[in-house]
Amino acid sequence: MKDSWFFGNSGLKRLKEINDSFKHKALYQINSTNKCSFKNYSPWMSNYSNHLRLKNIYELNEKIVTSNEALNAIESQYYPPEDKNNFVSFSTMEETELGLIKAASDKVMSSYNDISLLFDELVMNIVPMKTTKGNFQDIGIGFSSHLAKGAIFLSIPFLELNSVNQLAINIAHETGHQALYVYQTADPIIENGLSTPVYSFVRKTDRPAIQSFHATIALAFMVRFISQLPESDESEYLADNLNVLSSDFKKSLDSYGNVTFTEFGKILLDDLRCYANEI
């Protein structure tokens, strides 16, 4: 893609530039407010209203968060999606479960494609979530938050086979959210983003426009990841996912007729439409 805002060298360069600017400002705000001298940005600095409760994990030095202290601090401030039939927590996982997350992370990184580079640039921490098998999707759940820019939250899929493949797809999904969060630090993207309902082709229901746009970008990132995997990774499971995700991505782009995008938001939407025409 020529001069993309998401993929290729141009997408990576643009996202890195804006991400670096945001991280610099967030780090400066934390240090100046608290008379601290932290050297590096942490995703938990995004949650500025609760920064004092999270400062002990600012220097967390692990890609996959495993320490009980860190997980307890995170769980006290972040609320994973759950309902009365399901339970979600950030408690320490079994080694076999953590091994699946590590294998999926390694798969993304070793693919040497656009999503590999963006994942490396945009995702600093992976927070494992434990779930019970209830109404949640068997493919596992994940979420991201603008109050934790640079962190993604993932659960283990309830699959007998293809758990690593599905987790890698879920990582690509969450990396897409992180990319849009970066751009949202510079521009609102949609002027009526919370008040206008738009059908989400991920949740399969109407959601606020900005959340459905997040879903569209997540779909684009999953499609990009699978389509750029080496031939040695080809499988029926991945091929089936690619067909469904590509279809949903393309259909989602026709959902924004009543949405007022900013000028930059229009650029991003046009960029996604160009990508859809290529696949």
Residue 198: alpha-carbon gap to chain centroid:
20
HSE-CB at 147 with a 13 A cutoff on CA atoms is: 11
pLDDT digits (tens, 9 = 90+) for 173-220: 999 999 999 999 999 999 987 889 999 999 999 999 999 999 999 999
Domain ranges for the chain, please list them: 8-278
Name the band, by pLDDT with cuts 50, 70 and 90, for residue 256. Answer: very high
Distances (CA, A) of 153 to 168, 189, 202, 256, 273: 13, 24, 17, 28, 28
Name the band, by pLDDT with cuts 50, 70 and 90, for residue 18. Answer: very high
This prediction's pTM: 0.95
pLDDT digits (tens, 9 = 90+) for 110-139: 999 999 999 999 999 999 998 876 555 789
| The pLDDT of residue 81 | 60
Q: CA 143 to CA 124: how far, in whole Å?
A: 15
Name the band, by pLDDT with cuts 50, 70 and 90, for residue 82. Answer: low
Q: CA 100 to CA 170: how far, in whole Å?
A: 12
pLDDT at 20 over 60: yes
